[in-house]
Amino acid sequence: MAILIPLAFSFGLDATQALVLMTSVYYGAMYGGRISSILLNIPGDEPALMTTLDGYPMAKQGRAADALVLSGVASFVGALLATIGLMLMAPILAKVAYLFGPPEYFALYLLAFCTLGGVSAKNQAKAAIASMIGLGIAMIGLDNQTGMPRLTFGDLHLMDGIDFLVAIVGLFAVTEIFVFIESHGKESAIGVKLGKIKVPFKDIAHSFFAMLRSTVIGFVAGVLPGAGASLGSFLAYMSEKSIARDKDTFGTGNPRGVAAPEAGNNAAAGGALVPMLTLGVPGSGTTAVLLALLLTLNITPGPLLFDERPEVVWGLIAALLIANFVLLIMNVPLVRLFVKILSVPAWLLLPGITMISFAGIYSLSGSSFDLLLMTAFGLLGYFMRKLDVPTVPIILGILLGKNMEDSLRRAMVISDGDWTYLFSSGISIGLWIAAVAGFIAPMFLRNLLRKPTRPQS
Amino acid sequence: MNLKIFRGFAVAAVVSVGAAGSAAAAECIAPANPGGGWDFTCRTIGKIMHDIGVVDQPIQVTNMAGGGGGLAFSHVVTKRDDDPELIVAASSATATRLAQNAYGGLTADQVRFLGAIGVDPGVIAVAADSPHMSLNDLLDAVVADPASVTFAGGSAVGGFDHLKVLMALNRAGLTDIRTVKYIGVDGGADAITQTIGGHTQAMTGDISEVVGFLKAGEIRVLAVFADERVPGFEDIPTAREQGIDVVAGNWRGLYVPKGISDEDYMKWSNALQAVADSDAWAEAMAARGLAPFNKVGDDFQNYVNAVVAEIEQMSREIGVIQ
């Protein structure tokens, strides 16, 4: 949501300048979200969620700088290729969105949820419980298909549902503070070792193909309106994990677990510009702000935008390409500066994080209710940490649950309750097969095929 | 996080500067985040009021999102009921939600509606290759077999996009409006995408939402729910011309607190009328795809009351409210 800052400055500029400013910030924010994920285990924005899984363990092993450089390069690869994809294929790709109706979207979200069990390396049941909690929270608010409020207890604050940013900041930042207080700073995750800063060529080379695969996945997820960057980074991470030979090291600081979600989320950010420009359909909150800007500038997004306003579109694409190189150049040397945050003592850093969490959430809605809610999420996160239940599936449940439910119920309205409609197209059948064959079946087969289990380290 | 930090500070700075610098300025609450229709209403009308000199100081815009406008409504009713320096953006969505008791028990008569000075007329569109050539074609098909057509729209079930379709079908002779199939998707453009893709058969929304696709020839707009044909879209017949007497648009207007004096109410309605008559507003409307619509003062209050009553009755029929 950093995108709202320059919105205020953009009103005096002409159309292309304003758009260039906004989209450059949009790309920059996608790069930047990873930094706090890696250094503090607190995602900077929702697509950077998956980067905490391996980025933070890497930092704990003293490889914070490696993780930052690697993720910067992965972001660059993802964003660059996505921009080229946008440039070459946007008008054609717009047609892909037409192919996705409610049954196809439902299958896509289902695929994402089927992979959730793999988030936690140790205990899939706990990951499942966590995603159920997330799904439950996603049910709160106005039900789109009946217009009825659900689980709001008549409170207007809950009418729009729970903002996932409140949940993210609560579950990650506030939880961290509670743990810190309890252990008098001893057990806190904050305060990782600082290693030597050099460019990790080996890791980059090793994860280069992971970046390319993740770019493709992220880009496709971005092109589909309603899926967006979070789903892109999530699917990129999970598919990378499922094809990796060293699955067990994912979640413990595998460089590919850092490269994949970062390439995926930046590619998705580029992909999300396709439906925004060619259909006027925003895939995320950020592209919704961009879309509103286009409308105030009297630019009507639609199938003809590329023909009618070529100066705007090509100006935008040129700016994105330049922004990408600038971001890479800025991000890699600045790693030196970023890792300095780790030398701030915890007794100073944590109160700072607390203050920023509260100020940041309050600035989103101006409502003290959200602050209480955030604190409640912090408590929830604290107990889940004690019970060793992963929190990432909760956030994904909140992010995707409502969309998944809406897709299913829309499909049921259209087909008059005929469930075979869910398997009525090649795309949806393909996604179902991927979900079942790729993620559900192995969960059960593994127990049959695997040698006697080794004790968990 | 570090970006949000930044934003937190930036917002705090802007808010404090704004509060200190404009102690006597009037405030316009946009009950949604920046970028939407309510935000546009506040910013554009507020700016023009200052530019043409009907208010002394620039009007400060506050975004108060939540509860589909309900948080702002309850804020005005409970905390600012006699504040003469406050205006709040409203649209047909406000009236719809009030009629459906979606603002936690608050009702339309707890504020005074000031006026609306522009409207985004409602439309019904189908894909370019659809067999339905006119509004009557489509409506007759639904009356004959309600299961054969699914409508997609940008509002939730029971929202204004849904109700427009029901009003039209009601006039076309459908008795049981609960049988109509409607899915609420994420905005008008999404509804069009679903319709072009063949997942739904028709789209209901506002004219500003269909412009890009109409020019590209991917959709056919069957009817516009306006009094007369909309300037710039003269090819699109009105529903009335086709014998369906429905006028439904997303009007852009304002309300003020209930407890202010009649003089203050007059002051604001004169200011709003002055904006409506200005060239700057005509330009802003054209840029935004809005059609003229001018009801200010008591005239508008009566209009809102009538709309609320009709929506309430219709919502009862489809079961959105008991």
Read off the pLDDT of residues A428-451 as tens digits, 9 standing for 90 and up. 999 999 888 877 776 676 666 555
Tell me: pLDDT of A9 over 80.
Answer: no
With CB atoms and an 8 Å threshold, state whether A156 touches B71: yes
Which of B150, B156, B186 lies nearest to residue A142, judging by beta carbons?
B156
The partner residues of B89 in beta bridges, in order of sequence, read B254
With CB atoms and an 8 Å threshold, state whether A148 touches B320: yes
CATH 3.40.190.10 domain position(s) in chain B: 121-242
**Minimal C-alpha gap between B209 and chain A (Å):** 9
Closest residue by Cα to residue A423 from A438, A414, A413, A433: A433
Residues of B in contact with A142 (CB under 8 A): 68, 102, 156
pLDDT tens digit sequence for A185-210? 665 555 556 666 777 888 888 889 99
Are the C-beta atoms of B115 and B295 separated by less than 8 Å?
Answer: yes
Binned at pLDDT 50, 70 and 90, residue B20 comes out as very low
Taking the model in full, what pTM does it have? 0.85
Which of A40, A101, A289 lies nearest to residue B199, judging by beta carbons?
A101
DSSP state at residue B229: P
Domain span at residue A59 reads: 4-102+147-388
A51-90 residues touching B, CB cutoff 8 A = none
Question: φ and ψ at B167, to 5 degrees?
Answer: -60, -45
Name every residue whose Cβ is closer than 8 Å to that of residue A243 and which is 6 or more positions away in sequence: none
Q: Please tell me which residue of chain A has the smallest CA distance to B154.
A: A144
A394 part of a folded domain: no
Residues of A in contact with B193 (CB under 8 A): 97-98, 225, 275, 279, 281
Q: What is the rounded average pLDDT for all residues in chain B?
A: 87
A419 part of a folded domain: no
Are the C-beta atoms of A175 and A382 separated by less than 8 Å?
Answer: yes
DSSP state at residue A20: H
pLDDT tens digit sequence for A330-386? 888 888 888 887 778 777 888 888 998 999 888 877 778 999 999 999 999 999 989
**Minimal C-alpha gap between B167 and chain A (Å):** 18
Q: Could you give the ipTM of this predicted complex?
A: 0.83
Binned at pLDDT 50, 70 and 90, residue B10 comes out as very low
With CB atoms and an 8 Å threshold, state whether B4 touches A160: no
Residues of B in contact with A98 (CB under 8 A): 193, 196-198
With CB atoms and an 8 Å threshold, state whether B1 touches A44: yes
A278 part of a folded domain: yes
**CB proximity A303 to B under 8 Å:** yes
A441 part of a folded domain: no
The pair of three-digit structure tokens given for residue B125, joined into one six-digit string: 């569109």
Total length of chain A: 457
With CB atoms and an 8 Å threshold, state whether A289 touches B35: yes
Looking at the structure of chain A, the number of domains it has is 1
CA distances from B232 to B57, B126, B208, B222, B237 (A): 35, 20, 11, 16, 12
In a 3-state reduction of DSSP, which class is residue B126? Answer: strand
CATH number of B24-119+249-318: 3.40.190.150
Find the Cα–Cα–Cα–Cα dihedral A118, A120, A125, A130, rounded to 10°: -110
Top-tier CATH class for B121-242: alpha beta
Find the Cα–Cα–Cα–Cα dihedral B272, B273, B278, B284, rounded to 10°: 50
| Range picked from A242-246, B8-12, B139-143 for highest mean pLDDT | B139-143
Residues of A in contact with B35 (CB under 8 A): 7, 288-289, 291-293
pLDDT tens digit sequence for A55-97? 988 888 888 888 999 999 999 999 999 999 998 888 788 788 8
With CB atoms and an 8 Å threshold, state whether A44 touches B193: no
**CB proximity A173 to B under 8 Å:** yes
CATH 3.40.190.150 domain position(s) in chain B: 24-119+249-318
Name every residue whose Cβ is closer than 8 Å to that of residue A54 and which is 6 or more positions away in sequence: A67, A250, A251, A252, A253, A254, A255, A256, A257, A258
With CB atoms and an 8 Å threshold, state whether A42 touches B1: yes
With CB atoms and an 8 Å threshold, state whether A36 touches B185: no
pLDDT tens digit sequence for B196-249? 999 999 999 999 888 888 988 999 999 999 988 988 889 999 999 999 999 899
3 state SS for A365-391: HCCHHHHHHHHHHHHHHHHHHHCCCCC
**Residue for token pair 């929202």:** B159
- DSSP line for A60-122: IIIIHHHHHHHHHHHHHHHHHHHHHHHHHHHHHHHHHHHH--HHHHHHHHHHHHHTGGGGSSS
Which of A156, A301, A353 lies nearest to residue B212, judging by beta carbons?
A301
pLDDT at B301: 94
A75 part of a folded domain: yes
Percentage of chain A lying above the pLDDT 70 cut: 88
